[in-house]
Every structure is written in C-alpha cells, then in structure tokens.
Amino acid sequence: MSIRAIILSGGRSNRFGGVHKPAVELGGTTVISRIFGAVRTADPDAEVWVAGPCDGLTAREQESVHSVVEEPAFAGPLAGIAAVCAAFRDASSAASAGVTLVLAGDMPLITADHLGDLIEACQRTGTPATGTDDRGKTQFLCAAWPTELLLSRLDDFGDPTNGAVKWLFSGLELSLVDVEPGVVADFDTAEDLDRIHTRIDEAASTDEAASTQ
C-alpha cells in the first residue's frame, strides 16, 4: 500500500515575526528536515510532497520531494492540501491508493514511531487517524488519511481558500492514536520554540547519559 506525505510549509508565520518556521534550526537540523526524516524512517519509500517553499530542506532532500505552491499564496493549510492532492491526482493513475499523511511544517518533535502508528490505525480502520496535543485537542495537522477519502472530502468541500482543515473531519469517525503530547507540539511564538528546545536538549542529555553507561 502506497504512503504519501504532505508537509505544509506555506504559512506567513505572522506570530513568529515572519520567519519561515520550517527552516528554523534545532540542534543543527531544520524543522522541516526533522519532519522529512521522520517520514522516511517510517516508510523509506514514502512519496513526499511539500505544500509551499522547500526552504530548510537540504539539496539532496529537495531532489527527492515534490513541491507545490497553493494559489493564491498564503491561502491556508487546507488550500495547500488541496493543491498537493490535485497535483498527485494528475500525476498518477494510482493516486487514490494507500494512505496520505498530512503534517504541519512546524512540528519538529514528530517521530517515525508515531507516524507508523497513525498509518497502521488508518489502514486497519479505514478512517482518518490522529492524536491529541498538550491541550487535549485533536491534532488535525498530524493525521493519516485513506487517500480516497481525503480526495473525496476535498471534492465535496469546494473552494479551500482560507478554509479550516478541521472541516475535512466534520461528521467523520476518527481513530485516535495514543501519543505523548510533546511529540505533536507545534510552535507559533519564541516561547513555544524555547519549550521545544528544552525538550530536545533534555532528550539529548538522556541519550548521552545512556550511551556512557
């Protein structure tokens, strides 16, 4: 079963001073490269699409992804998802097969294990799979969709410009996957990023301590 991933990188980052969040470095690796790495670890053959700029990916990573920019630019994540789905539907007769991951471009702590759990739950149930964030809210921008269902919902939705991604989920049964909330943490402010820095530093210290034992 084919796996596709959509990484959304087209936001204005207004609350982050206009700095392109996916290209921010954490521990020597950009946010978008961390997400890309998690996808490829979960499934080395995953087809990766970026909705928006590829800034932050290495040259080698950029060679292995497809890039689409929604029109008009900055029309929101739903428009980015729709633009990618339109592109891969045009590019492949098998576009409706498999599972499509929808991932925000500002979630640097996403793990391959969590993505694997989302994919497994989606395949098993035939429903969108997601988890909840540290506020207990459904994380709509870290989800696995049956590709046929995602395409159908977009067709029904109409113009996606400035639409809310949560509307795609309206009326659907979801598969909720257990996840430590920090794994799906995003950042909109410098304070949010500082908290993510702390998590990464703590994880690195734990790994270093374990390696010396």
Closest of 63, 68, 58 to residue 30, by C-alpha: 58
The alpha helices in 18-111, defined as continuous H runs, are 31-42, 59-63, 77-91
Please name the residue that has the structure tokens 């490829």: 40
108-146 pLDDT, tens digit each: 999 999 999 999 999 999 999 999 987 888 999 999 999
Most distant CA atoms of the chain, gap in Å: 57
Q: Could you tell me the pTM of the whole model?
A: 0.91
Q: What is the DSSP letter of 49?
A: E
> In the chain, which stretches have pLDDT less than 70?
1, 91-97, 203-213
Is residue 149 classed exposed, middle or buried when 0-12, 13-18 and 19+ CB atoms within 10 A define those classes? Answer: middle
- To the nearest whole percent, how much of the chain has pLDDT over 90? 63
